Amino acid sequence: MKSDNKQRALTQLQRRILSLDLAPGQALDEVVLCQQYGLSRTPLREVLQRLAGQGYVQLTMHRGAHVSSMDMVTMRNFFQTAPMVYAAISRLAVEHASADQLVTLKKIQMRFRRAVSNAAVADMVEQNHRFHEAIGEMAASPYLSPSLERLLIDHTRMSHRFYRSALSGANSQVDVACDQHDRLIAAIEKRCVSGAVAETLAHWELSRVEIDKYVQPDALPFDVLETADASESVG
Amino acid sequence: MKSDNKQRALTQLQRRILSLDLAPGQALDEVVLCQQYGLSRTPLREVLQRLAGQGYVQLTMHRGAHVSSMDMVTMRNFFQTAPMVYAAISRLAVEHASADQLVTLKKIQMRFRRAVSNAAVADMVEQNHRFHEAIGEMAASPYLSPSLERLLIDHTRMSHRFYRSALSGANSQVDVACDQHDRLIAAIEKRCVSGAVAETLAHWELSRVEIDKYVQPDALPFDVLETADASESVG
DNA sequence: GTCTGTCTTTTTGTATACATGTTGTATACT
DNA sequence: AGTATACAACATGTATACAAAAAGACAGAC
pLDDT tens per residue across span A170-189: 568 999 999 999 999 999 99
Instruction: Round to whole Å and give the CA distance between B168 and B147.
Output: 34
**Which of B10, B41, B67 is the endpoint of a domain?**
B67
Whether the CB-CB separation of A188 and A198 falls below 8 Å is answered with: no
Q: What is the pLDDT of residue B71?
A: 84
Whether the CB-CB separation of A15 and A133 falls below 8 Å is answered with: no
Which CATH number do you get for residue A33?
1.10.10.10
For chain B, the residues whose C-beta falls within 8 A of a C-beta of chain A are 3, 42, 45-46, 49-50, 52-55, 61, 73-74, 77-78, 80-82, 84-85, 88, 92, 140-144, 146-147, 150-151
Number of domains in chain B: 2
pLDDT confidence bin for B218, thresholds 50/70/90: low
First-last CA distance in chain A: 44
Q: What is the DSSP letter of A69?
A: P
pLDDT confidence bin for A232, thresholds 50/70/90: very low
Q: Do A77 and B45 touch (CB under 8 A)?
A: no
Write the DSSP string, B46-80. Answer: HHHHHHHHHTSEEEETTTEEEEPP--HHHHHHHHH
pLDDT confidence bin for A214, thresholds 50/70/90: confident
Write the DSSP string, A131-164. Answer: HHHHHHHHHT-TTTHHHHHHHHHHHHHHTHHHHH
Determine if strand C comes within 7 Å of the CB of B61: yes
Q: What is the pLDDT of residue A8?
A: 96
* Rg of chain A on CA atoms, in Å: 19
Write the DSSP string, A176-213. Answer: HHHHHHHHHHHHHHTT-HHHHHHHHHHHHHHHHHHHHH
Instruction: Round to whole Å and give the CA distance between A68 and A55.
Output: 7
Is the pLDDT at A224 greater than 50? The verdict is no
Which CATH number do you get for residue B89?
1.20.120.530
Which of B57, B58, B143 to mutate against chain A (most A CBs within 10 Å)?
A: B143
Long-range contacts (CB closer than 8 Å, 24 or more residues apart) made by A203-212? A203/A86, A203/A177, A204/A82, A204/A83, A204/A86, A206/A173, A206/A176, A206/A177, A206/A180, A207/A155, A207/A159, A207/A162, A207/A177, A208/A79, A208/A82, A208/A83, A210/A162, A210/A165, A210/A173, A210/A235, A211/A158, A211/A162
First-last CA distance in chain B: 44
Give how far the C-alpha of residue A176 lies from the chain's centroid of Cα atoms, to the nearest Å: 17
Instruction: Round to whole Å and give the CA distance between B169 and A10.
Output: 52
Q: What is the pLDDT of residue A74?
A: 85
Is residue A140 domain-shared with residue A83, that is, in the same domain?
A: yes
Write the DSSP string, B174-198. Answer: HHHHHHHHHHHHHHHHTT-HHHHHH
- Render pLDDT for B75-118 as a digit per residue (tens, 0 to 9): 889 999 999 999 999 999 999 999 999 999 999 999 999 999 99
- Render pLDDT for A15-26 as a digit per residue (tens, 0 to 9): 999 999 999 999
pLDDT confidence bin for B225, thresholds 50/70/90: very low
- Render pLDDT for B173-209 as a digit per residue (tens, 0 to 9): 999 999 999 999 999 999 999 999 999 999 999 999 9
Instruction: Round to whole Å and give the CA distance between B4 and A31.
Output: 26
Is residue B47 domain-shared with residue B158, that is, in the same domain?
A: no
Chain B hits for A154, Cβ within 8 Å: 143
Instruction: Round to whole Å and give the CA distance between B143 and B131.
Output: 20
> Which tops the pLDDT comparison, B168 or B61?
B61
Is residue B16 domain-shared with residue B105, that is, in the same domain?
A: no
Range of the domain at A59: 2-67
Nucleotides of C under 7 A from a protein CB: 11-17, 21-23
- Segment B201-230 mean pLDDT: 72
Is residue A20 domain-shared with residue A88, that is, in the same domain?
A: no
Is residue A212 domain-shared with residue A113, that is, in the same domain?
A: yes
Is the pLDDT at A226 greater than 60? The verdict is no
Q: What is the pLDDT of residue B214?
A: 78
Is residue B59 domain-shared with residue B76, that is, in the same domain?
A: no
Q: Within 10 Å of residue A19's Cβ, how many Cβ atoms?
A: 16
Determine if strand D comes within 7 Å of the CB of B63: yes
- Strand segments, DSSP code E, in chain B are 27-28, 57-60, 64-67
**Which of A40, A67, A94 is the endpoint of a domain?**
A67
Q: Nearest CA to B30 among B20, B44, B18, B43?
A: B44
- Segment A229-234 mean pLDDT: 42
Is the pLDDT at B233 greater than 60? The verdict is no
> Which tops the pLDDT comparison, B35 or A212?
B35
Q: What is the pLDDT of residue A72?
A: 80
Is residue A104 domain-shared with residue A202, that is, in the same domain?
A: yes
- Render pLDDT for A103-154 as a digit per residue (tens, 0 to 9): 999 999 999 999 999 999 999 999 999 999 999 999 999 999 999 999 999 9
Whether the CB-CB separation of A40 and A5 falls below 8 Å is answered with: no
Q: What is the pLDDT of residue A73?
A: 80
